[in-house]
Amino acid sequence: TGTDLAPVLAGARVMPVLTVPSAATAGPLADALAAGGARCAEVTFRTSDAEQVLKEMAAHGGLAVGAGTVLTPEQVDRAVAAGARFVVSPGFDEAVVAKCRDLGVPVVPGIATATELMRALKAGLDTVKFFPAEPLGGIPMLRALAAPFPRARFVPTGGIGAPRLPAYLAAPAVLAVGGSWMATADHLRRGDYEEIRRLTAEAVHGSAT
């Protein structure tokens, strides 16, 4: 699995990572992201409303919505039941990957070392999340890690904001860049969907250059 997700990520270039406290914000949030030009989004399983948020954002139709922070096979079941188009994990877990394979849902495991990347490749997964990208050493680390593995494609995430985005996108092995800066808990608390739209548009359109 993962094979049909790579073109989606490559077309999207930017993956907003969302931690949404209340499902009440799911509709306007999906509208704002779509209006900003986002094509996909990751809803993290870090809030009690995450499944409902995922369900409502998936129903919006304008975005390929996946589940993030998926740590267990049981969460994979719940994510898929809620309509997740893909599953993202901060690390590489065999049971999570196996469950995704059983259910036919693409999975993007997190990797931070060559050993973890080799495990993912061995499991047939070419698309991985490089996490947490900035604390791990950012672009120089990503380039060095990618060099021996021409097949691997990366979604760096973690500590990346608008200023660092273009440099990540310019790295050949990078499929898309993930991050929460486009839609933060703070934006949602303030109901600042215009700012979410603006930051998303800046990320998506900036990435075209």
Sign of CA dihedral 183, 79, 38, 25: negative
CB of 2 to ligand 3PG, least distance (A): 17
Q: Taking CB under 6 A as the rule, does residue 180 contact ligand 3PG?
A: yes
Pick out residues in 12-41 that bind ligand 3PG (CB under 6 A).
17
| Active-site position among 42, 51, 56, 134 | 42
* Contact pick of 66, 68, 106, 156 for ligand 3PG (by CB under 6 A): 68
Q: Taking CB under 6 A as the rule, does residue 207 contact ligand 3PG?
A: no
Report the candidate in 132, 137, 125, 112 with the shortest Cα–Cα distance to residue 3: 125
CB 152 within 8 A of CB 128: yes
* Contact pick of 2, 36, 106, 158 for ligand 3PG (by CB under 6 A): 158
Which positions ≥6 away from 184 have C-beta within 8 Å? none
- Residue 182 DSSP one-character state: T
Nearer to ligand 3PG, 106 or 179 (CB): 179
Q: How far apart are CA 60 and CA 120, in angstroms?
A: 32
Per CB under 6 A, residues contacting ligand 3PG are 17, 44, 68-69, 157-160, 178-181
Catalytic residue set: 42, 129
